[in-house]
Chain A
Amino acid sequence: MTDTLLRPAPPAALTHEERSALIDSVRRLLADRCTEGDVRRIIDSDSGHDPALWRALVDLGIAGLTVPEAHGGAGLGATELELVMEEAGAVLLPAPLVSAAIAATLVPDLDGLATGERIAAVAFTGRHGWTGRDTVTVAGGRVTGTARFVADAAIADTILVAADEGVFAVEVADARITPLPVFDRTRRMADVAIDAPARQVADAGVIAKARDIGVVALAGEQAGGARRMLEMTVAYARDRHQFGRAIGSFQAIKHMAADLLLESESATSAARDAARQLADGSTTADAAVALAAFACADAFVRVAKDGIQMHGGIAFTWDHPAHLYLRRARSGAQLFGDSDRWRDRYLAALEAQA
């Protein structure tokens, strides 16, 4: 194999119009297939996964968005991924898109990834572990131990174990997968006990980049979720009347809304900038990704929490969607590590630049 073949083709650059068309098609699909009713049906199911919806996402090219064209994917980059994730986040799409994006970076030629026939879950362990609770080791030609809180593991065909020694593919038949009773049922997680031959599929060097792609995808999801939660809240504040006035006319509510707009717009800016820097291979991408990680996580949690407060009693009911956003915000704020860790990494990245 020549060097040219080994080097992955750069992600295709879309024009502004092509990008808008892509986002429009995603938005239309989600408006049709991922309504609040659909989300509630899916999160009430045992698996938390809707194969028909997944198939529709695959057909639109979303499941294999960042898989290189040579391997049957759309061959797009972090910029498009982030924009798609904003749409997904806005409607709380319960689908393994973050896992798919990470897997596409770890093992771009993984069979069935682009066609959605294979769903891969990723267990970050060792240096890149974020739970501080996993016990996975790679020794003597075997991968053994338990990876905890692995997103999408219960619906996966393959577990990709990202370990300090490299990336190893474990078929689910060689693992014992225990779904966890998660607070956010739009993002299912499982503990994965592994005792399997160490089948290495990538070098450890690719893990940090794959994790960054996952962080940017998640950041986009959070920015989109924050924006939708704010829109919902502001619309309610215009309609809901107390004391003979729309509650949004009270400065107590209006000022909270203005502050949340700043949070939500800042999250969008941070997510998009991190995506662009990753796509461009910028030398300051580390800092941009870290900034997006905590800015988007914190913004979504704050918008979701304050949004419930601004709604009042109606949002304290199960039937109102607001709590689903808060649940989603809280799970995203742990995935890949909490905001304090990312703030520390952000400062470390700035120190390294200086």
Chain B
Amino acid sequence: MTDDELRAEVEAWLAEHWRGLPAHHESFGRDPRSAWLAEVRDAGWAVPRWPTDRWGRGLSNDQAKIVERAFAAAGAPGAGQDRTNLWANTALAHATEGFRGQIVPQLLAGEVGMCLLYSEPGAGSDLAAIRTRADKVDGGWRVTGQKVWTSGAAVADYGMLIARTDWDVPKHRGISFFFLPMKQPGVEVRPLRQITDEAHFSEVFITEAFVPDDHLLGPLNGGWGVLQTALAYERSVMGDAARGPRSGAGGPKGDYSLLGLAREAGRIDDPVVRQQVAQAIAWRALNRLNTARAKAELAQGTSSPIMSLGKLAMSRILHEEARVRTLLLGAESLLQGPDHPRAEDANFLTLNAYFTSIGGGTDQIQRNIIGERVLDLPREPEVDRTLPFREVRAG
């Protein structure tokens, strides 16, 4: 099929089927767009790069982009999930044949809500130190432990869970990866109040919860490898995405840019302010240029070290923008509440910047990754790397 024929086909399909959506949606939990997403899935547009016997169309990357562009132009969601759908990609790569056939179509249509059950109070940056256990029982596994920093747990049908299945081998080698059914008595979800006074995350207490055998992804005790696929998807999405202000529309006059705020605050002619505003804008511009160059280099088939830098760059951008925003407001930044939206934004952004610089791997972990995987510097010696996990010191 030529590019033009493909473009014509997808545009014709959209013209026939696309009628708009209900306005609200939540990225975790059941998706109100499910009916539409199911149509997209059944037509093969959801995952155009996947083979035709696996919900896709077997298209090349370039042709798949034609599909994505046509959907974007129409404002229709759901195409190109082979790049973006963390859950479906993980399940496609690692689920057993039977479970895959059941779960992947549901994931592509957002018919099941999902959450991540990775971090624990004692296993943050050192994720392989998890102590949640999965013990073999008849027909499946019994899971007990505590997870934290889980988004969407309250509405999730499944959690992607890492749990320890062998305590007598070193920490990375005794972990398995499961799809844990969340709607069962042994799973208790409690909201976690954040420094922003929001509660986007939960703690999940798991007591003797049951996972059927076929919900194991990848080999038994091979969960660390499965996790790497899943984490790579998560990190690549975080470099691009960052939340704007909580109040949405921005300051009273609606100009949310730093430049706009500097004007509004009457500080745009202050040479000290100009330096700081310019530099903050520059960090963001440079990250945009890096991302564009990385994409161009990847398209030319050259590997690019830049992709791994995006998340670290975004941390600096968010912290710096919040700092400059505070500088521009001066004493106004002491206030909060709905009558002071500019202060609300500055203060919210100051706190929420940690979402990026701690979440999904702290800046410090990210620097280790860049140093080791991009610059090929040696790892730190790890005292627990070869010890059986039950002998590792914790606390």
Residue numbers of A with Cβ under 8 A of B are: 16, 234, 237-238, 245-246, 248-251, 253-255, 257-259, 261-262, 265-266, 268-270, 272-273, 291, 294-295, 340, 343-344, 346-347, 350-351, 354
Contact = CB atoms under 8 A, between A and B. Distances in A.
B377 A248 contact: yes
Contact of B293 (A249, A272, A354): A272
Nearest to B273: A347
B367 A343 contact: no
B293 A350 contact: no
Interface stretch (B15-23, B196-204, B284-292, B340-348): B284-292
15 contacts: A238-B377, A245-B381, A249-B380, A251-B371, A253-B377, A255-B367, A257-B377, A258-B374, A294-B282, A295-B286, A340-B275, A343-B274, A347-B259, A350-B259, A350-B278
Given A238-B377, A245-B378, A254-B372, A265 B290 contact: yes
B371 A257 contact: yes
A265 to B, nearest CB: 5
Given A254-B367, A255-B364, A343 B377 contact: no
B285 A254 contact: no
Contacts of A270: 286, 289
Nearest to A246: B378
A234 to B, nearest CB: 5
B371 A248 contact: yes
A343 B289 contact: no
A238 B367 contact: no
Nearest to A253: B377
* Most chain B CB neighbours (cut-off 10 Å) among A253, A269, A351: A269
Contact of A262 (B279, B281, B312): B312
B277 A266 contact: no
Interface of B: 259-260, 268, 271, 274-275, 277-279, 281-282, 285-287, 289-290, 292-293, 300, 305-306, 309, 312-313, 364, 366-368, 370-372, 374-381
B380 A250 contact: yes
B309 A265 contact: yes
B290 A350 contact: no
Nearest to B262: A347
A249 B379 CA distance: 5
A179 B372 CA distance: 47
A273 B289 contact: yes
B377 A237 contact: yes
A351 B375 contact: no
B383 to A, nearest CB: 14
A347 B277 contact: yes
Nearest to B271: A344
A266 B290 contact: yes
Given A262-B313, A343-B274, A343-B279, 6 more contacts: A234-B377, A246-B377, A265-B309, A291-B286, A347-B274, A350-B278
Contacts of A255: 364, 367-368, 371
Contacts of B368: 251, 254-255, 258
Contacts of B312: 258-259, 262
A224 to B, nearest CB: 15
B332 to A, nearest CB: 22
A333 to B, nearest CB: 15
A241 to B, nearest CB: 10
B388 to A, nearest CB: 24
Contacts of A16: 300
B378 A251 contact: no
Contacts of B380: 249-251
B259 A354 contact: yes
B295 to A, nearest CB: 12
B65 to A, nearest CB: 19
Contact of A343 (B268, B282, B287, B372): B282
B298 to A, nearest CB: 14
Contacts of A347: 259, 274, 277-278, 281
Contact of A258 (B275, B367, B378, B379): B367
Given A254-B377, A258-B312, A266 B371 contact: no
* Most chain B CB neighbours (cut-off 10 Å) among A248, A266, A270: A266
Contacts of B279: 343
Contacts of A291: 282, 285-286
Contacts of B289: 266, 269-270, 273
5 tightest Cβ-Cβ pairs between the two chains A and B: A254-B371, A248-B377, A269-B289, A258-B367, A258-B370
Contacts of B377: 234, 237-238, 246, 248-249, 253-254, 257
A291 B280 CA distance: 12
A238 B281 contact: no
A258 B366 CA distance: 9
Contacts of A265: 290, 305-306, 309
Given A344-B278, A347-B259, A269 B286 contact: yes
B309 A262 contact: yes
Nearest to A287: B285
A344 B378 contact: no
Contacts of A269: 286, 289-290, 292-293, 306
B282 to A, nearest CB: 6
B218 to A, nearest CB: 30
A344 B293 contact: no
Nearest to B263: A351
Given A237-B377, A273-B289, A346 B278 contact: yes
A344 B270 CA distance: 11
A257 B287 CA distance: 18
Nearest to B268: A351
B275 A344 contact: yes
A16 B300 CA distance: 9
A350 to B, nearest CB: 6
Contacts of A254: 367-368, 371-372, 375, 377
Contacts of B259: 347, 350-351, 354
A254 B371 CA distance: 5
B349 to A, nearest CB: 20
Contact of B282 (A253, A262, A268, A295): A295
Nearest to A274: B289
A294 B286 CA distance: 11
Contacts of B290: 265-266, 269
A340 B276 CA distance: 10
A346 B371 contact: no
B51 to A, nearest CB: 31
Contacts of B376: 234, 238
Nearest to B279: A343
A253 B282 CA distance: 26
